[in-house]
Protein backbone atom coordinates (compact mmCIF):
# COMPACT_ATOMS: atom_id res chain seq x y z
CA UNK A 1 0.00 0.00 0.00
CA UNK A 2 1.33 3.43 -0.95
CA UNK A 3 0.57 6.25 1.46
CA UNK A 4 0.54 9.69 -0.11
CA UNK A 5 2.21 12.40 1.97
CA UNK A 6 -0.03 15.43 2.33
CA UNK A 7 2.24 18.32 3.25
CA UNK A 8 -0.68 20.65 3.95
CA UNK A 9 -1.94 18.33 6.72
CA UNK A 10 1.54 18.02 8.23
CA UNK A 11 1.55 21.66 9.39
CA UNK A 12 -1.12 24.01 10.79
CA UNK A 13 -3.29 25.93 8.37
CA UNK A 14 -2.37 29.45 7.26
CA UNK A 15 -4.61 31.26 9.75
CA UNK A 16 -3.20 29.35 12.75
CA UNK A 17 0.37 30.01 11.56
CA UNK A 18 -0.48 33.70 11.18
CA UNK A 19 -1.81 33.75 14.76
CA UNK A 20 1.27 31.94 16.11
CA UNK A 21 3.49 34.58 14.47
CA UNK A 22 1.38 37.38 15.99
CA UNK A 23 1.84 35.76 19.41
CA UNK A 24 5.61 35.69 19.01
CA UNK A 25 6.50 32.23 17.68
CA UNK A 26 10.08 32.59 16.37
CA UNK A 27 10.07 32.51 12.56
CA UNK A 28 13.63 31.38 11.92
CA UNK A 29 14.87 27.83 11.36
CA UNK A 30 11.56 26.49 10.11
CA UNK A 31 11.21 23.49 7.87
CA UNK A 32 8.00 24.74 6.23
CA UNK A 33 6.65 28.24 5.53
CA UNK A 34 3.36 29.60 4.27
CA UNK A 35 4.24 32.44 1.90
CA UNK A 36 2.03 34.98 0.20
CA UNK A 37 3.83 36.25 -2.89
CA UNK A 38 3.38 38.04 -6.20
CA UNK A 39 5.02 37.30 -9.49
CA UNK A 40 6.59 40.01 -11.62
CA UNK A 41 3.30 40.00 -13.54
CA UNK A 42 1.50 40.86 -10.25
CA UNK A 43 -0.26 37.50 -9.82
CA UNK A 44 -0.78 36.87 -6.10
CA UNK A 45 -0.41 33.35 -4.68
CA UNK A 46 -0.34 31.66 -1.29
CA UNK A 47 1.80 28.55 -1.12
CA UNK A 48 3.30 26.15 1.40
CA UNK A 49 7.01 25.78 0.68
CA UNK A 50 9.83 23.84 2.26
CA UNK A 51 12.58 26.05 3.69
CA UNK A 52 15.29 24.90 1.29
CA UNK A 53 13.19 26.28 -1.61
CA UNK A 54 13.17 29.78 -0.20
CA UNK A 55 15.63 32.29 1.17
CA UNK A 56 13.97 34.88 3.39
CA UNK A 57 17.08 37.09 3.62
CA UNK A 58 16.21 39.16 0.51
CA UNK A 59 12.72 39.80 1.96
CA UNK A 60 14.17 40.84 5.32
CA UNK A 61 16.70 43.13 3.60
CA UNK A 62 14.03 44.81 1.49
CA UNK A 63 15.05 43.31 -1.86
CA UNK A 64 11.74 43.25 -3.74
CA UNK A 65 12.27 40.28 -6.08
CA UNK A 66 14.37 37.14 -5.99
CA UNK A 67 14.27 33.67 -7.46
CA UNK A 68 12.69 30.62 -5.88
CA UNK A 69 13.64 27.01 -6.60
CA UNK A 70 11.07 24.97 -8.47
CA UNK A 71 9.39 28.00 -10.02
CA UNK A 72 11.52 27.86 -13.19
CA UNK A 73 13.42 30.96 -12.18
CA UNK A 74 10.47 33.33 -12.10
CA UNK A 75 11.13 36.35 -9.94
CA UNK A 76 8.70 36.72 -7.08
CA UNK A 77 8.06 39.26 -4.36
CA UNK A 78 7.15 37.99 -0.91
CA UNK A 79 4.32 39.93 0.70
CA UNK A 80 4.01 37.89 3.92
CA UNK A 81 5.48 34.70 5.35
CA UNK A 82 4.65 32.52 8.34
CA UNK A 83 6.59 29.65 9.82
CA UNK A 84 4.50 26.48 9.61
CA UNK A 85 5.76 24.34 12.52
CA UNK A 86 5.57 20.59 12.19
CA UNK A 87 3.84 18.41 14.78
CA UNK A 88 7.28 17.38 16.07
CA UNK A 89 8.34 21.01 16.56
CA UNK A 90 5.13 21.81 18.43
CA UNK A 91 5.44 18.69 20.62
CA UNK A 92 8.95 19.82 21.53
CA UNK A 93 7.71 23.31 22.44
CA UNK A 94 5.12 21.82 24.80
CA UNK A 95 7.62 19.45 26.41
CA UNK A 96 10.23 22.22 26.86
CA UNK A 97 7.58 24.31 28.57
CA UNK A 98 6.91 21.46 31.02
CA UNK A 99 3.59 20.28 29.65
CA UNK A 100 2.45 16.73 28.98
CA UNK A 101 -0.35 15.80 26.63
CA UNK A 102 -2.52 12.91 25.50
CA UNK A 103 -3.66 12.49 21.90
CA UNK A 104 -6.89 10.76 20.89
CA UNK A 105 -8.26 10.18 17.41
CA UNK A 106 -11.82 9.33 16.53
CA UNK A 107 -13.54 11.51 13.93
CA UNK A 108 -11.28 14.37 14.97
CA UNK A 109 -8.05 14.85 16.85
CA UNK A 110 -8.25 15.61 20.54
CA UNK A 111 -5.33 16.82 22.65
CA UNK A 112 -5.51 17.11 26.42
CA UNK A 113 -2.77 19.20 27.98
CA UNK A 114 -1.52 18.75 31.55
CA UNK A 115 0.63 21.08 33.63
CA UNK A 116 2.61 18.59 35.68
CA UNK A 117 5.33 16.10 34.90
CA UNK A 118 4.24 13.92 37.82
CA UNK A 119 1.77 11.34 36.55
CA UNK A 120 -0.17 11.09 39.84
CA UNK A 121 -0.74 14.83 40.18
CA UNK A 122 -1.54 15.90 36.65
CA UNK A 123 -4.11 18.63 36.25
CA UNK A 124 -5.85 18.96 32.92
CA UNK A 125 -5.58 22.50 31.62
CA UNK A 126 -7.36 22.39 28.29
CA UNK A 127 -8.80 20.03 25.67
CA UNK A 128 -8.66 20.88 21.96
CA UNK A 129 -10.62 19.05 19.24
CA UNK A 130 -10.02 19.72 15.56
CA UNK A 131 -9.64 18.16 12.11
CA UNK A 132 -5.87 17.55 11.94
CA UNK A 133 -3.21 16.78 14.50
CA UNK A 134 -1.11 19.77 13.40
CA UNK A 135 -4.06 22.15 13.83
CA UNK A 136 -4.79 20.64 17.26
CA UNK A 137 -1.23 21.29 18.46
CA UNK A 138 -1.27 24.82 17.02
CA UNK A 139 -4.59 25.63 18.69
CA UNK A 140 -3.25 24.27 21.99
CA UNK A 141 -0.13 26.46 21.76
CA UNK A 142 -2.27 29.49 20.92
CA UNK A 143 -4.57 28.82 23.89
CA UNK A 144 -1.63 28.32 26.27
CA UNK A 145 0.05 31.53 25.07
CA UNK A 146 -3.14 33.62 25.22
CA UNK A 147 -3.83 32.40 28.75
CA UNK A 148 -0.33 33.05 30.06
CA UNK A 149 0.86 29.45 30.40
CA UNK A 150 3.71 29.59 27.90
CA UNK A 151 6.24 32.05 26.51
CA UNK A 152 7.73 31.07 23.16
CA UNK A 153 11.08 32.66 23.97
CA UNK A 154 11.57 31.37 27.50
CA UNK A 155 9.60 28.15 27.56
CA UNK A 156 7.22 28.58 30.46
pLDDT, one tens digit per residue, over 89-143 is 998 888 888 787 888 877 667 677 776 555 445 566 788 888 888 999 999 999 9
Residue (of 79, 69, 14) closest to 42 by Cα position: 79
Kindly calculate the radius of gyration of the chain based on its CA atoms and give it in whole angstroms.
18
Q: From the CB of residue 4, how many other CB atoms can be counted at a distance below 10 Å?
A: 4
φ/ψ bin of 29: left (φ > 0), alpha (ψ from -120 to 50), beta (otherwise): left
- Asked if 16 contacts 135 with a C-beta cutoff of 8 angstroms, the reply is yes
Residue 9 predicted with pLDDT over 80: no
Domain borders along the chain are: 26-83, 87-146
Helix (H, G, I), strand (E, B) or coil at 134: helix
Mean pLDDT of the chain: 76
Instruction: Give, rounded to a whole angstrom, the gap between the first and last alpha carbons of the chain.
Output: 42
Amino acid sequence: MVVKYDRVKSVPNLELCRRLKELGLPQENGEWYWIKWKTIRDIETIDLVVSNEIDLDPYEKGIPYYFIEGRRGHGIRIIEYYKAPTVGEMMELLLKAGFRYKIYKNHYYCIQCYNSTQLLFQTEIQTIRTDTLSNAFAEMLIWLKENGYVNFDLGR
